[in-house]
Structure 1
Amino acid sequence: MAARKNSKAVSVTMVRKLNSTPGAVYAAWTEPSLVARWLAPGADAVTSVTMDVRKGGRYRIEGRHGDGSLYSFSGTYLDLAVDHRVAMSWVYDGPVHALKSGASIVVAEIRPLGSDLTELTLTHEKLSERDEAEIYRVSWSECMGKLENVAADLPHSRKHFDEQRATDFYSDSQREMQDRFKTRALADRLEAVLVHDHLSASDAAFIACQNMFFIATADAYGQPNCSYKGGARGFVTVVDERTVAFPDYNGNGMHLSVGNINETGKVGLLFIDFERQARMRVLGTATSVQRDPLLARYPGAQIIVRVNIESVFSNCPRYVHKMRLVEESAFVPESGAEPPVPDWKKLNTVADVLPDEDKKHAGNDIDISKTLNKG
């Protein structure tokens, strides 16, 4: 007789006392490099971790089962209380059929019991089958054993842990490459000389002269994107020594950069002056605002992106090609002037999906390469 399916949701709960502080346990759940060390049971191994640790942020953990098959867990952070609670949705994608029942919920409750002693209560809720619950019970038990070792190795306070992490400008992988090529001392010296957390007067003046830059963003799964942003000279506003802002003009409607900014917020800006053969990087956290007061400064702008600066540094100009500006783009919006219509809006292939304000431009052109200046 076939086994009858369980009609009620099943949950798994386990409690562990860990010889570590709540801050260390919370860090083990929210730091990608630490998660990779424990969130894989038995012979399984984590191969990639991407985490946007904020309420509504996404995460994805990829791994390899002991038999070599690939799998992933992904979901959304439902609740985060620093040093107290982590709650997230949980979806398995892999070859184990019993675990592919849809979304469930994982909750980690963290409670201090005394000096360097913490109680962790793990609940895996909304599982659809008892077989699934039993697999997770064994898996979580093995993971919790690893978690205890990871948390015990961390500094005794989250403040200490955060300060320790913040003291190094370079990631573990970057340090590994520096050690491989024996450039750690050089990297440390360049950081000390070049890297700072605010714009100097010369940095601000350099940005004020630029009419383009490249922006790097990433989505919650770690998929990177690099985009070119252009405008009139000085279109990037230096708001103060720790903030820059720039307009997001009408584009092709894909919103790749701003979409990523809304998802993860992390950005890297690369300014290059090809005439002077100079370049500068700005790294930070960005937000996009539709009703920003700076919109009045930029005719045709849809959104203002503000970047809170975390680090600024110039790079060696050795490989920057020397080029001169012939003319700025005729499409850069100007006050009181209607910009020309880009040829791609006249393509027959997009005529039926253009926004209402652009439908008047729809045409029957069919040469996509030509509209992209590649034909």
Structure 2
Amino acid sequence: MSRAFADIAFTDTVRRLQQQDGSRETYSGLDRPDVERGDRLTAAEATFITARDGFYQATVSETGWPYVQFRGGSVGFLKVIDDRTLGYADFRGNRQLISAGNLAVNDKVALFLMDYANRSRLKVWARAEMLPVSGNADLAALLGDPTYRALPERLVILTVEAFDWNCPQHIPQRFTRDQLAPDLDAMRRRIRDLEQENSELKEFLMPASG
């Protein structure tokens, strides 16, 4: 954990509850000025982020209600621009525009990036800025996906304020079809070989006619 994480997540109310629960002392060391700030992505975070094909994004409306959206795309569609900046292209969707509307009035956003196969989770707190595609050709080229048929409607730039890695204890281990493909292909080949071997064995053991 980092000082930036504690500054955002440990509000006065949270700290008071930690005090009542007896855990405040455990986390109090994060308040020391010599503790790493932890608001700049390292190579480990950058590698993890660029390997993802989706993430959960939380925003809050002007009425105070939170909204969580899953954003998916090609692997690496969430770009690491530098050690404080992420970005992605927002393509036309179901036209509800809930996340965009929330970000228009409250730029604070939280991301959960999951690697279920390795039971890893990275949490990111950031401030979002929505930019038009027109007039930002270079940025649109960086964040766009030429393999996706839809055109981006806006560009979302995220300035990282804090991040934190989670304990894997309760993360279920799951695998995608692509991750399982090599093992499944090997299994299918083995099944075909065994079926062929079984067929040949049956033919060999079958009594000769006549």
Q: CA deviation at 1:294?
A: 2.8
Q: Quickly say closer, same or farther: Cα 1:196–1:253, change in 2 above 3 A.
A: same
Is 1:225 the counterpart of 2:97 in the alignment? no
Q: CA deviation at 1:319?
A: 0.7
Q: CA deviation at 1:190?
A: 6.4
- Secondary structure of 1:251 counterpart: coil
Is 1:295 the counterpart of 2:170 in the alignment? no
Structure 2: distance between partners of 1:199 and 1:309: 8
Is 1:317 the counterpart of 2:168 in the alignment? yes
Q: CA deviation at 1:256?
A: 0.7
Structure 1 stretches lacking a partner, 5+ long: 1-166, 329-375
Contact 1:194/1:313 (8 A) holds in 2 = no
Structure 2: distance between partners of 1:195 and 1:221: 32
Structure 2: distance between partners of 1:229 and 1:205: 19
Q: CA deviation at 1:298?
A: 2.3
TM value normalised by structure 1: 0.41
Q: CA deviation at 1:227?
A: 0.5
Q: Quickly say closer, same or farther: Cα 1:241–1:279, change in 2 above 3 A.
A: same
Q: Which residue of 2 aligns with 1:326?
A: 177
- Secondary structure of 1:180 counterpart: helix
Which has the larger helix fraction? 2
Q: CA deviation at 1:177?
A: 1.8
Percent of residue pairs bearing the same amino acid type: 29
Q: Which residue of 2 aligns with 1:306?
A: 157
Correspondence 1:1-375 to 2 at 5 A: 168-169=7-8, 170-189=10-29, 196-291=38-133, 292=136, 293-296=138-141, 297-299=144-146, 300=150, 301-326=152-177
Structure 2: distance between partners of 1:286 and 1:315: 23
Q: CA deviation at 1:221?
A: 2.2
Q: Quickly say closer, same or farther: Cα 1:191–1:256, change in 2 above 3 A.
A: farther
Structure 2: distance between partners of 1:215 and 1:168: 20
Structure 2 stretches lacking a partner, 5+ long: 1-5, 180-210
- Secondary structure of 2:177 counterpart: coil
Q: Quickly say closer, same or farther: Cα 1:247–1:188, change in 2 above 3 A.
A: farther
Contact 1:194/1:314 (8 A) holds in 2 = no
- Runs (4 or more) in structure 1 with deviation over 6 Å come to 190-195
Which has the larger strand fraction? 1
TM value normalised by structure 2: 0.71
Greater relative contact order (Cα < 8 A, sep 6+): 2
Structure 2: distance between partners of 1:325 and 1:214: 17
Contact 1:243/1:309 (8 A) holds in 2 = yes
